[in-house]
Structure formats: structure tokens, C-alpha cells
Amino acid sequence: MSTETQTTAVDRGIIERIRASPFLSQLLSNRLAVTGLAVIALVVALAVYARFSYDLEALLTTQFGVNPDEAPPSSEYVFGTDGQARDIFPRVLYGAWYAVLYGTVTVAASTVLGVGLGIVAAYYGDLTDNVIMRTMDVLLSFPSLLLALALVTIFPEELGLWRAVGALTLVYTPRFARVVRGAALKVLEDEYTDATRALGATDPRLLIRHVLPNCLAPITVQSTLNYGLAIIDIAALSFLGFGASPGEPTWGMMLSNGVEFGLFSGAWWWSFFPGLALALTVLGFNLLGDGMRDALDPRMRETVD
Amino acid sequence: MVSKQFLVKRLLLLFPVLFGVATVVFAILHLSPGDPAVTIAGERASQEFINEVRGDLGLDDPLWQQYVRFLGDVAAFDFGQSYQIQRGTPVSQILANRLPITIELALLGEVAGLLFGLPLGILSAVRQDTLTDHLTRVGALSGISIPIYWSGPLLILLFAQFLGLLPTSGRIGSAYFVETQTGFILVDTLLAGNVAAFRSAVVHLALPVVVLGIYQMALISRMMRSSMVEVIRQDYMRTARAKGQGEKITIMKHGLRNAFIPVITVIGIQFGSLLGGAVLTETVFEINGIGTLLVDAISRSDYPVVQATVLVFAVLYTLVNLGVDVTYSVLDPRIEQ
């Protein structure tokens, strides 16, 4: 058998699996969700491109003499230049890298923490469950951005935007814990759990091989929705002055500088384009997350009749 | 009606939550790097003076003693004095002055969100899967994706700079002086009978309220739509139609009441995002509520103010959710179980 036929066989397998999965086929038939997916793919591609083709040093330093400062968008400077005569276009692209990087770390960290806590709480129940979930409840009783603001202060300033990542991870973890605990409890009630246990499966094996895979769908939806939130919240923290260091090409910082120094002296493009990139990226995640939720929750489906 | 038992149970549940919230706030402040004594004494103060300040603040006591004292103070609404922002002023007094400003802004934002979000959600549900529906849904998703710190400045640029229709910042024109009675500027100007000042306040608050309301509108219309879509298919709706009742009356009389119940929950859960949005809105429009107070206090290491503000935000959020739960159980008594 040649390698070529092998890959087609694999491909067909994947397509069949997608067809067989009501979740994926539902999702892919949702035009808005597919649009969201396309936006996210584009942002990730641009982020990776910017990361490997631009020199960060050059984007950070002032470019007086090289470029005009506060030049409006033109064919040469597509998004214009800022008050330090830096070309805004490559900075916005590099901002995508920061958004994807910090967003991914935030969501990944809170997912792992939340999933761990949620599953442990559901499985061990009683005191363990109470201690974990009551702690999560307390964290959930703070408005999220405000808790993040307060939490940023516990990290040393040298960490820069990683402070925002740390704070938001702690803020988002309880949401995952709650969702996962609920899903895990449902799985644990099922008879096949008892059967697996009767066959001699150990706790970790039962949790990882049986409980976790059955919680994947709600976890994925929660992660996607929180991805958009993480990007918008990280930018909000840098807008409020906590996180990014001045000059760093993150969307939040560019937006903050652009509003403070450029917007009312006429240089609207300084803050407009970073903000647009931010809003479109977040919209992408919200479109996808929304579609996922519809696909997951049959009651929310549009075409019931 | 709500049973007394349910109310008492919900109220009792408040205490462990508030206790937990106070503990978290205490922990955050003690985990923060930086020495409050140095902040108060000043960077250039002598070591003896810093030690003296530390002794006065009780920072040399064992941690558990500080914790117990903190809980006692919180229970007595004593948050100490501001280190930096208004040096020596009791924090509770600063909060009392600033809290109404934020509450007024948040309430107006919520009202704006309901005013536009409910009709849009109903429209979207009634015209399900038409162009109107798609546009409203994409609009709502955009509404929750656009950051306040982007839309706010852009609207200021458009309405204040280019069109010159609205002021750029603040709550009221600097020419007006209105005695503070309730702290709500719209109420105070009316109580003073100063129509010109009232008009100035309305004009000043218009943009902040719109910016804050967009997000709430988006959330509410989304929830209203999905809730109404379900209600429309219920048997009692068919019965109402079969009785010969017009579609409009059926939707408004039977549909709205039932579809509104899940929306109330969303309002409660999203009250946190409303408060977060208020902080950003206050920053963008230079409004001196507790949002800007918190941001200032954090950047200037004014720990007592940070503690108190975060606590107040959490308590507000918790109380609103309690209110939502009670309202919910009034509208749908089944929920008590």
C-alpha cells in the first residue's frame, strides 16, 4: 500500500468521524461559527507571521528621522505612524502575537487548574468537594475585572503583562471548576463508571480515561468563550495601566497610548487600528463559542421545527 | 410568594460568602509586595520612623491577630484612613461620597441595556431566522466584543470633538454647583430645582451611559431572544392564539412574562461585568466614582482604600444576586426547591 492511499484513508476516517459527531457537523453547518473560526485562523496566522518576520527591538524603539511622526494612514504606512514615529501596521500585527500568546496561556492555565479542581471535587465529594467549591464560590462573588485588578498587585512588577495573565488565570479558574464538576458528577452517576471500577480501574485511570473525555465538550465551549474574554481583559488591564510596559506593541498599550496622546490631537488612527484588531479577534472567538454552545445544547438550536 | 424559610436561608448563606470575600481581600493585600509603612512614611523616611509607623499600624503583630482585627473592623464598617489619595480621611467617608456616583452610572447603564435589549431580543425571536434576526444577533455579538475603552474614546471623538454635541468628560458642567443630597447627580439637580444643571448632567451622562449600556443591551437581547424562542413554542401560547387572541397581545402578555425570567438571572450574573464596565467607563470619561478610586488606589499603593473598594464591589455584586434570586423565586415559585 502506498503512502498516498494511506493518507486518503485517514482523511476519509476524519470526515466520517466529523459526520458522525452531531456536535461537529452542527458546528460546521453554522455559518457564523465557521466565520469565527476563519477569523481566529487568520489572527493566529498573522500572529505567527509577525513573530517570526519582525524584529521586536525595531518595533519598540522610536523611529524619529526614519518615519514622520503621527502620519495619517497612507499607502506607505497603511495604519499610519504613532507619536514615536513608529509604523503602526507591523505593531498591530505583532500585537496579535501577544494577544494569542497571553490569551492561550491564560486560558490553558485556568482550564488545567479548573478541570483538575472540578474533577477532584466531583470524585471525592464530601469535605474535599465543599472546601474546593466554597473557595470557588468566594472567588466568583467578585466582579471579575475588579478581582483581576486587585490580584495583579500580588505579582512583582517586573513580570509585566504576565501579571495580568496570572491574575486572570485565578479569576477564570472557578468558572471551569464549576462547569467541569457538574459534568463530572453526571458521568460519575452513570453505570459504566461502576462497571469500570468493578473491573479494577484505579482512581486516576477512571478520572483520566473515562470522566475527562466525557467533560470535553463543555470544557471546549467554556475555553473558547473565555479566550475572547481573556484577550479583552488583558487589554483592559494594560489600558488601566497594569501590565504592559510603555512602548510594548500590545493592543491594550497601543490603544491606551493612542487615546491618551493622539486621539484628541487628531491622530485617531493611533488607537483606532489596535482597537479594531482587538474587537475583531474577540468577535471571532465569540462567534465560534456561541456556535459551539448552540451545537452542544440542543435546546438552543435554531432549527428545531 | 416567597416563603420566609427561603429568604432566611438565602440571607444566612450571605455570611460565609462575605466572610470568604473579606478573607480573600485580606490575603491579597498581605501577599502584595511593598510595605505600607514605607508608603505612609515616604521613601526617604528614616528607618526608626518607618518602624514607628509599622508599630502604629499593628503590622508587627502576628498575622492571625491582624486578620482577626481586620475582620472586626470590616464588621464595624471601619476601613481605616486613606494613606495617599485623601491622606488621613476615613476610607468609609471617601466611599460614601463616591459610591453613589458609580451606582447611578451602573443603574443607568442597566436601564439603557434593558430599554434597547428587550425589544431587540423579542424582535429577533419573533422574526427568527430572518435577516432582522441575523443582523440583531451579529450586532449583539459585536456589542459584547467591542471594548469600552475603544468605543468610548471613539464616541467622544465623534460626538464631542467633531460634532460638538456632547461634552467630553465629567458628570456635570463646571459652572454648576449642586448640593449633594443623594449623591445621584440627576436626583440632586432635580431636588435643587435647578433645571439647567439637570440638563447639563443629562448631557454629560449620555455618552457614558450609552457606552456602558451597549454591552448590557447585547447580553440582554441575546438572552431574551433564546428565551423567547422557546416560550413561543409552548402550549399555553398556542392556547392563547387558539382563543383568538392577536399575536402581539399573546407575545406581550403571555410570552414576555415567561421569557423574562431567565433574563433576570443573566442580569444578576452579568452585574459583575456591569461593574467592571463601570470602572472602565469612569476611567474613559474621567468620572470620579469608586472605579477610578480603585484604579488610583492600586497604582498609589493606598491599601486601605483598595481593600475597602474591592470589598464594596463584591458586597454589591453579592447583594444584587441575592435580590435576583429572590425576584426569581417570586416570579417562578418552583425555584425554591
Mean pLDDT of B33-51: 81
Give B165 to chain A, closest Cα distance, Å.
15
Of B28, B147, B276, the CB nearest to A154: B28
Q: Which helix (H) or strand (E) holds B240?
A: helix B235-242
Nearest-neighbour CA in chain B from A300: distance (Å)? 7
Rounded to the nearest integer, the mean pLDDT of chain B is: 87
pLDDT tens per residue across span B286-316: 999 999 999 999 888 888 899 899 999 999 9
In the beta sheet, which residues pair with residue B81? B90
Instruction: Check if the beta carbon of residue B140 is closer than 8 Å to that of residue B120.
Output: yes
With beta carbons under 8 A apart, name residues in chain A contacting B146: 279, 282
Residue type, B108: L
| Residue-wise pLDDT tens digits, A150-176 | 999 888 888 888 999 999 999 999 999
Query: Which helix H or strand E contains A52, and what residues bound it?
Result: helix A31-53
Q: Which residues of A touch B268 (CB under 8 A)?
A: none
Average pLDDT score over residue span B187-191: 88
Give SS3 for B46: coil
Mutate one of A145, A285, A305 to test the B interface: name it (highest B CB count within 10 A).
A145
- Give yes or no for residue A4 having a pLDDT over 50: no
B139 touches chain A (CB under 8 A): no
In whole angstroms, what is the distance from residue A128 CA to residue B275 CA? 32
Which stretch of DSSP H or E encloses residue A191? helix A191-198
CB proximity under 8 Å: B 184-223 to A: none
Q: Which residues of B touch A145 (CB under 8 A)?
A: 272-273, 275-276, 279-280
Q: What is the distance in angstroms between the Cα of B250 and the nearest Cα belonging to chain A? A: 20
Cell numbers at A291, concatenated: 456556535
Tell me the C-alpha to C-alpha distance, in Å, between residue A183 and each of A63, A118, A190, A219, A226.
54, 9, 11, 9, 18
Contact A142 B149 (CB under 8 A): no
* CATH class, A43-304 region: mainly alpha
User: Which of B141, B151, B233 best tests the A interface by mutation, with the highest count of A CBs <10 A?
Assistant: B141
Chain A nearest-CA residue for B143: A283
What is the pLDDT, as a whole number, of residue B244?
78
Q: Which of A137, A153, A288 is the best mutation test for B, with the most CBs of B within 10 A?
A: A153
**Which pLDDT does position A278 carry in this prediction?**
96
pLDDT at B115 over 90: yes
- In angstroms, the separation between the Cα of residue A264 and the nearest Cα of chain B is 7
| H helix or E strand, kind and range, residue A290 | helix A269-296
CB contact under 8 Å between A144 and B299, yes or no, is: no
Closest residue in A to B274 (Cα) is A143
Question: How many CB pairs below 8 Å do chains A and B form together?
Answer: 148
Q: Please indicate whether, in this complex, the C-beta atoms of A268 and B149 are within 8 angstroms of each other.
A: no
Which residue from B minimizes the CA distance to A157?
A: B33
- In a 13 Å sphere around the CA of B244, the CA atoms on its Cβ side amount to 0
* CB proximity B163 to A under 8 Å: no
Chain B residues in contact with A276 by the CB 8 A cut-off are 150
CA distance A45 to chain B (A): 21
What is the reported pLDDT for B177? Answer: 81
Confidence of residue B153 (pLDDT cuts 50, 70, 90): very high
Residues B231-256 have a mean pLDDT of: 79
User: B166: pLDDT confidence band, cut at 50, 70 and 90?
Assistant: confident
Chain A interface mutation, best of B126, B149, B230, highest count of A Cβ atoms under 10 Å:
B149
Q: Distance (Å) from the C-alpha of residue B273 to the closest C-alpha of chain A?
A: 6
Beta carbons of B153 and A263 less than 8 Å apart = yes
Sequence ranges of the domains in chain A: 43-304
What number is the ipTM of this complex?
0.87
pLDDT bin (cut points 50, 70, 90) of residue A299 is: very low
Question: For residues B110 and B159, what is the distance between their CA atoms, to the nearest angstrom?
Answer: 22
- In this predicted structure, the answer to whether residue A17 has a pLDDT above a threshold of 70 is no
Give the residue from chain B lying closest to A255, CA to CA: B150
How confident is residue A200, by pLDDT bands cut at 50, 70 and 90?
confident
Q: Is A275 close to B230, i.e. CB distance below 8 A?
A: no
**Nearest Cα residue in chain A from B300:** A153
How close A39 comes to chain B (CA, Å)? 13
Q: Give residue-wise pLDDT tens across range A64-112.
A: 877 888 888 888 888 988 888 889 999 999 999 999 999 999 999 999 9
**pLDDT tens-digit readout, A114-123:** 999 999 998 8
Q: pLDDT of A202-226, one tens digit each?
A: 888 888 888 888 888 888 888 988 9
Q: Which residues of B touch A30 (CB under 8 A)?
A: none
Backbone angles phi, psi at A159, to 5 degrees: -70, -15
Q: What pLDDT was estimated at residue B57?
A: 80
Q: Which of A253-257, B2-6, B212-216 has the lowest mean pLDDT?
A: B2-6
Model confidence pLDDT, tens digit, residues B9-24: 888 888 888 899 999 9
Tell me which range, B27-31, B212-216, B327-331, is most confidently predicted by mean pLDDT: B212-216
- Hey, where are the domains in chain B? 91-336
**Mean pLDDT, residues A33-62 taken together:** 90
Whole-model pTM?
A: 0.87
Beta partners for residue A298, in sequence order: none
Q: What is the CATH number of domain B91-336?
A: 1.10.3720.10
Interface touch B21/A142, C-beta < 8 Å: yes
DSSP A200-241: T--HHHIIIIIIHHHHHHHHHHHHHHHHHHHHHHHHHHHHTT
| Nearest chain A Cα distance for residue B181, angstroms | 28
The nearest alpha carbon in chain A to B283 belongs to A240
In 3D space, the residue among B210, B176, B335, B200 whose CA is nearest the CA of residue B285 turns out to be B210
User: CA-CA distance, B311 to B302, in Å (whole number)?
Assistant: 14
Distance from CA of B192 to the nearest CA of A (A): 34
pLDDT reading at B83 higher than 70: yes
CA angle centred on A80, ends A79 and A83, rounded to 5°: 130
Q: Please check whether residue B39 touches A, CB under 8 A.
A: no
